[in-house]
């Protein structure tokens, strides 16, 4: 139950936004931005930061291909608590190049940019990139499926069967034996008994 407005007072706002762009050359750009602000003047070690001016305003940009591999990575720090110091680490984010967003990405980021090897806030932005990329690709690069029952042609010729939608079995709600899959993707629904059967192809 929410508290009445008079019982709480805003102290801090963090906003994270990500824009995904499909490029004319077939690549994709993801631009992730983090902004921290407070509703009052605050005293930092580097001086007073007036109300309305962000403590952090940082952007991480990566270019990926449709296999989700990072081809280019840059970052910028437009507002920081330690001007002239925080910005020095921006070039380190070029180390993201070559990583794949879906194969050991978060572990590789920790190895390359964890602790003093990176900026806490820019590194935090890397965590949202994999799921944002998949959302951006949905229906454009990745087949999400329409949930319709198998067509007559598919029933007659299994080779024409639509591929299993990417999102199935990638979260709790869309597990193969779940209610959502049974309702919205009936051709991919499997009963718990089906899932327990050994795979004859192995």
Beta bridge partners of 28: 22, 64
* Contact (Cβ atoms closer than 8 angstroms) between residue 122 and residue 60: yes
Q: What's residue 200's pLDDT?
A: 53
Q: Left if phi > 0, otherwise alpha if psi is -120 to 50, otherwise beta: which for 182?
A: alpha
Tokens describing residue 41: 């003047």
Average pLDDT of the chain to the nearest whole number: 88
Domain ranges of the chain: 10-137, 152-196
Q: What's residue 202's pLDDT?
A: 47
Q: What's residue 159's pLDDT?
A: 43
Query: 49 pLDDT exceeds 60?
Result: yes
Q: What is the pLDDT of residues 62-119, one digit of tens each?
A: 999 999 999 999 999 999 999 999 999 999 999 999 999 999 999 999 999 999 999 9
Query: What's the CA gap between 196 and 10, in Å, rounded?
Result: 50
Tokens describing residue 10: 């805003």
Which range scores top for mean pLDDT: 128-132, 162-166, 169-173?
128-132
Query: What's the CA gap between 18 and 117, in Å, rounded?
Result: 23
Q: What is the pLDDT of residues 58-77, one digit of tens each?
A: 999 999 999 999 999 999 99
Query: 154 pLDDT exceeds 60?
Result: no
Q: What's residue 158's pLDDT?
A: 44
Query: What's the CA gap between 19 and 11, in Å, rounded?
Result: 27
Q: Enumerate residues 6+ apart whose C-beta is below 8 A from 186.
A: 147, 149
> What is the per-residue DSSP string for 107-119?
HHHHHHHSGGGS-
Each as own residue / partner, the long-range contacts of residues 154-162 (CB below 8 Å, 24 or more positions apart, any chain) are: none
**Lowest-confidence segment of 39-48, 92-101, 190-199 by average pLDDT:** 190-199
Q: Count other Cβ atoms within 10 Å, centred on residue 123.
A: 22
Query: 157 pLDDT exceeds 60?
Result: no
Q: What's residue 161's pLDDT?
A: 52
Query: What's the CA gap between 68 and 71, in Å, rounded?
Result: 9
Q: What's residue 195's pLDDT?
A: 73
Q: What's residue 51's pLDDT?
A: 92
pTM of the model as a whole: 0.79
Query: What's the CA gap between 167 and 185, in Å, rounded?
Result: 11
């Amino acid at each position: 139950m929410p508290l009445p407005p008079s019982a709480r007072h805003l102290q801090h706002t963090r906003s994270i936004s990500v824009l995904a762009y499909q490029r004319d050359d077939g690549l994709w750009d993801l631009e992730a931005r983090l902004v921290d602000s407070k509703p009052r003047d605050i005293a930092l070690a580097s001086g007073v930061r007036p109300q309305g001016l962000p403590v952090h305003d940082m952007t991480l940009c990566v270019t990926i291909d449709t296999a989700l591999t990072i081809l280019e990575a840059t970052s910028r720090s437009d507002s920081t608590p330690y001007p002239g110091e925080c910005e020095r680490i921006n070039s380190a984010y070029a180390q993201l190049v070559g990583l794949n967003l879906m194969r050991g990405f978060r572990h590789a980021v920790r190895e390359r940019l964890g602790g003093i090897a990176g900026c806490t806030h820019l590194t935090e932005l890397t965590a949202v990139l994999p799921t944002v990329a998949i959302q951006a690709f949905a229906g454009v690069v990745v087949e999400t499926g329409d949930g319709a029952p198998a067509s007559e042609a598919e029933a007659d010729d299994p080779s024409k069967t639509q591929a299993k939608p990417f999102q199935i079995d990638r979260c709790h709600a869309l597990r193969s034996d779940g209610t959502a899959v049974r309702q919205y993707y009936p051709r991919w629904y499997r009963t718990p008994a089906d899932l327990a059967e050994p795979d004859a192809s192995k």
